[in-house]
Amino acid sequence: MDSQIKQLHQQLVNKEISCTTLVQERLDLLKKNTYNSVNSLLEDTALALATKVDAKIANGEEIGLLEGIPFGIKDVYMVQGTYTTASSDLLKNYKSAYTATAIQKLLDAGAIPLVKENCDSFGHGSSSENTIFGAVKNAINPELVAGGSSGGSAVNVAKDYTVFSIGGDTGGSIRQPAGYNKIYGLKPTYGRISRYGIMAYASSTDCVGPLAKTIEDIRIVLNVMSGKDGKDQTTHTSSQINEEAIKTNNVKTVGYFKNFIDNDAIDPKIKADFLAAIEKIKATGIEVRELDFFKSDTLVSTYYTLAMAETASNLSRLDGTNYGNRIEGENLKDTYSITRSENFSEESKRRIVGGNQVLSQGFSDEIYLKGLALRDQISQNFEKDFEEVDLIISPVTPNSPPKIGDSLKDPLAMYLSDAYTVGFSLGQLPTLTVPQGTETGLQITAAKNQEQTILKFANFLKETI
């Protein structure tokens, strides 16, 4: 199966390329790139690690599959000693004291981190414009947004600056930029990969996941990062996915949400392309069923209500006391509020204030608790669907990527653009974006812990549509 990781591994083993050359070439590309995809480069450590890999190869020692493979990390992950800014003023000089579990597993496997990647500040955005490092430009058309919040990660993969990147997905932040930049991006089942060391946005939907150019690379990286972790007690044990297991498709029934397609909000071209993809799937003998689902505005509102409540709570720790860009006021409370007012972006402030609104007395019953009840219903709906179908396919977004600048002017439009991704986040389901079917790709979703079925079907789709 196509795999950049395997191809590079073979080149390293055959001494067709040195690891130092490979890493230096990618660093050079990242340095001179004009897409604003980089927050900081990890040049010295990357080259030091590459030298060690070269020494091992020169000594005739065996190297692991990921050893020497350059990758990128969204700038919300702790990597000890590196700046971890969350693309924010508040943390622009913050250094990680420890390393996230998922990243540590990749380091232990020998992969080499090159870059902390630009993203929406604290994951607050769907365009990677809400950042102090400049809006990330789309890899295919630089006048358009890269998508978000893992926009820098998607662009680095799409432009071959990194072999794979690690993004974070709370409501679509891996899947949507993957779709906008025509690559693969996986949001695994909630709890499959440890969240320890990712800066928390909305803890009940935050997921760690890979972005890459091939299904096989997604599989390899997913296997390395997965597993139970005592430092994140919502994690669970999962099985490794073998290459052989995803080669042959045995999916018999897929479903799609009729109301996602039959409405005025979807771009006519995306609708037509999606329905054409459905016809091609039907032509292979797979049964396709139409499913009922919640209205888009209910999904978006439920997600944002809960995500804002959780982010208001999670970000309350950022007050400039122990770390961060403290701005002194007359006293402690004044210092807190000036620090937070000056250092959070408008979008982050909007979400924090919204979260505190719904959590406050008088509002929590009619908004927050009702949101939780709706989430239960949405999740129950998925359970019922997966008794009928093996997979659900859907477009990634209702529209094509907007121009840079447009999303900031119209936050409601930005929230609504997440209509097709947030439901699966609320359901904590595994979902993969594939760069096929529509201009912004397709999502393949399965029941919890069925990533293997998704990857199998993605392989099948590669040949089918």
Q: Which is nearer to other proteins, 233 or 242 (CB)?
A: 233
**Cis bond upstream, residue 149 (ω within 30):** yes
Q: Which is nearer to other proteins, 17 or 353 (CB)?
A: 353
Active-site hit among 87, 173, 238, 348: 173
Shortest distance, position 301 Cβ to other proteins, whole Å:
4
Q: Which is nearer to other proteins, 355 or 437 (CB)?
A: 355
Q: Which is nearer to other proteins, 218 or 306 (CB)?
A: 306
Q: Cα–Cα–Cα angle for 200, 204, 209, nearest 5°?
A: 65
For the question of residue 173 being annotated catalytic, the response is yes
Active-site hit among 18, 56, 74, 105: 74
Shortest distance, position 450 Cβ to other proteins, whole Å:
16
Pairing state between β 442-445 and 431-434: antiparallel
Shortest distance, position 48 Cβ to other proteins, whole Å:
16
Three-state secondary structure string covering the chain: CCCHHHHHHHHHHCCCCCHHHHHHHHHHHHHCCCCCCEEEECHHHHHHHHHHHHHHHHCCCCCCCCCCCEEEEECCECCCCCECCCCCCCCCCCECCCCCHHHHHHHHCCCEEEEEECCCHHHCCCCCCCCCCCCCECCCCCCEECCCCCHHHHHHHHCCCCCEEEEEECCCCCHHHHHHCCCEEEECCCCCECCCCECCCCCCCCEEEEEECCHHHHHHHHHHHECCECCECCCCCCCCCCCHHHCCCCCCEEEEEHHHHCCCCCCHHHHHHHHHHHHHHHHCCCEEEEECCCCHHHHHHHHHHHHHHHHHHHHHHCCCCCCCCCCCCCCHHHHHHHHHHHHCCHHHHHHHHHHHHHHCCCCHHHHHHHHHHHHHHHHHHHHHHHHHCCEEEEECCCCCCCECCHHHHCHHHHHHCCCCCHHHHHCCCCEEEECCCCCCCEEEECCCCCHHHHHHHHHHHHHHC
For the question of residue 149 being annotated catalytic, the response is yes
Q: Which is nearer to other proteins, 96 or 156 (CB)?
A: 96
Instruction: Describe the strand order of the beta sheet including 112-117 as a list of residue ranges.
Output: 38-41, 112-117, 70-74, 164-169, 207-212, 184-187, 431-434, 442-445, 391-395, 253-257, 287-291
Shortest distance, position 252 Cβ to other proteins, whole Å:
25
Q: Which is nearer to other proteins, 90 or 391 (CB)?
A: 90
Shortest distance, position 133 Cβ to other proteins, whole Å:
20
Q: Which is nearer to other proteins, 95 or 271 (CB)?
A: 95
Q: Which is nearer to other proteins, 181 or 189 (CB)?
A: 189
For the question of residue 18 being annotated catalytic, the response is no
End-to-end CA distance of the chain: 18
Active-site hit among 37, 87, 149, 238: 149
Shortest distance, position 361 Cβ to other proteins, whole Å:
8
The catalytic residues are 74, 149, 173
